[in-house]
Structure 1
Amino acid sequence: MKNIYKILFVGLVAALLWSCEKNDDFATANNLTAPTLKASKDNVVLLQAQDAEEAVTFSYINATYSVNVVPTYELEFAVAGTNFKNSKSVGVDSNKKVFTVKDLNTLVSGIVPQEVATKCDVRLNSILGNNVVSSQPIAVTITTYKPNPDNVYPKIYVPGNYAGASGYTDWTPTNGGSPNLFSPKKNDVYYGFVFMNNAEPEFKFTYAEKGWDDNKGDTAKPNTFATLKANGENIQPTTGAGTYYIKVDWTGNTYSIKKMDMGIIGDATPQGWDSDVKLNFNKTTHKFEITMALEGGKPFKFRNDSSWGVKIQPTGKDDQELASGAEYATYVSSEGTVSDDASYKVATTGTYKIELDLHNSANYTIKVTKQ
């Protein structure tokens, strides 16, 4: 029995020693040379129209070690001069990394301003356990693009008899042919604003690019204004021409529709808080706009047809000052994206062109431009 215990003890010690030797590989693998890195370009301008094309290629010579080990490698990007604070990294597994325009734009958009040429530091990291050996950084200037949200979020079309008079084409479920409803949460629930310049509007819904092969209308005529079915009845609002807020649950086969003409109101406007000034729909730009006097330093916002039930405003609690000519995100209170009751302001009194772009519920924007 004693011999058996001795054999077991010797075996256990041997196993522990073998395990320690394996774990010590990283500790005893002394780095001999650092990796080196080169880029095919030192100035990269990214354009969304070229998403699938090659943007830049990074080639490198891997680090060497005193023993035969296999480290992992990553390319690390940061704004130049930040010592790689707030960096972004991507793993690599060969002697070069080819970035497409889309891949590079996605990687660095979180650390550099969009659409601004920004000098970046890029380095190759060789990682062995907790030990990291980096190449000397190289400088690459990168200009990213702002992805078109119309191509990012799922959408359905709203073809109808109103479209031609509203800057589109009647009964044409294609890009540019009909307005869209978008799904900001990508959950098959679509909603947004549609301007219908027809006293007796009619429309249906079609899914993505399938056109009439996948269309839905109301389950009944006269309409329920609530339920949908494939190849259903044309939807015919009884409230005439104007702006409609429509919400569609495509998989649940339900929808809602409400007329929602937006007006501007506030101390900054000539009417103050007493009455709204209705915005006009520009059939060319597909934006709601108005040119009017605004008083500097005083608040204004937008609301639904003289009702406070739906407002368009900043998302937070503080009033937001809008710089002339700059575009800002704006939010609809009824969509759950507004946390308080803030307003907008301009710094100086004058005449302003005000533009509300409400065509994409994932990207509502506002712009004021001093005339």
Structure 2
Amino acid sequence: MKHLFKIFAVALMAILFISCEKDEDQAILGDGTTPTLKADKTSVVLIKDNEANPAIKFDWTNPQFQTQVALKNTLQLAKTGTNFQSPGESIVTANDLKVTYTVAELNKLGLDAGLVPGVATTVEVRLKSEVGKTVLYSNVVTLTVTTYLTAYPSFYIVGDASAVGWNAGTSQLLYQKDNFSTIYTYLENGKYFRFLGQQDWNPLNYSLDVAGMNAGNRYFKTWSTNLAPSTPENIQFTGATGMYKIVIDADATQKSINVSASPIAVWNPANLYLVGTVNGWNSAAAIPMTNLGNGKFEHTIALPAASEFKFLGQLSWGDLDWGNISADGNTGYLGPKGSNGNIKFDGTGGNYKISVDLKMGTYKIQPL
């Protein structure tokens, strides 16, 4: 019994010693002084032709603690009156005590913060300094910034919630028109996905803008209720498994993603038929395609100039009707009945392989 008591006493003393050490460390660190920030301009008009030119310089002083510490400094820029809820952020090297942003760099910060291109906007800038769990903010610097419109980003879907899986090399690009990117595709309940800016894991990734998400992944300001953040990188799909229309609005004031049910829930019909100028638009005599499984079909056919066609899931003009997304054309993206047009293709009269992936929401026309 005495032996057990000694062991207990030693363990208790060790716990008290560690606790005292932590308290002592906190006492040595102290609360820290407030960092300061200043800028060399109060108004900046950004012009795309000058992207490589210096736009603005910031100088700061770091917070001082009772002992030397390693700081993580982040410059935050937000529209005035938003209380820095959705700022543009840039990590800066604490010991440099200054940073100069080029026109392109400051423009990105402004767009990330939701500034409308071409409109002079009052913004607030501050320095966020972190050491451990201690976070200190500098004074706020007020500026007027006019950003410019850059090219809208490309969005490639990847993840096990999608028809692609976790393969960046085969991630699927969404159809882009102006600031909108759209696709009718398959999503699986309870699984995860995100968007890439290229068919690679780097450098661009896009996910929901929430606390805990990697800084480089934070993009979408608003999203539909069937999406949830999965920190630190991904988005979880919480809707029922099936076909959905994904719409991304990349306008700097929006940065939204909406996922809604596709008008056609079927993605793996038993049959798919080709109808159009190739058969006189006779749905009852539509041309059967070869079923490859998992929503994929193909057919080889001679296509002359001014060919037009669509795909049917039955030998009639019924509900299973797919064509070019939104309107007549040849984008390579499928749209369901009510949201499509004819696929238009100028063939040479030679043979072409037409491939359809209903699950992915795409089609291809390849010469043989």
Please state which band the TM-score falls in when normalised by the shorter chain.
0.3 to 0.5
For normalisation by structure 1, the TM-score amounts to 0.39
Q: Of the two, which has the highest radius of gyration?
A: 1
For normalisation by structure 2, the TM-score amounts to 0.39
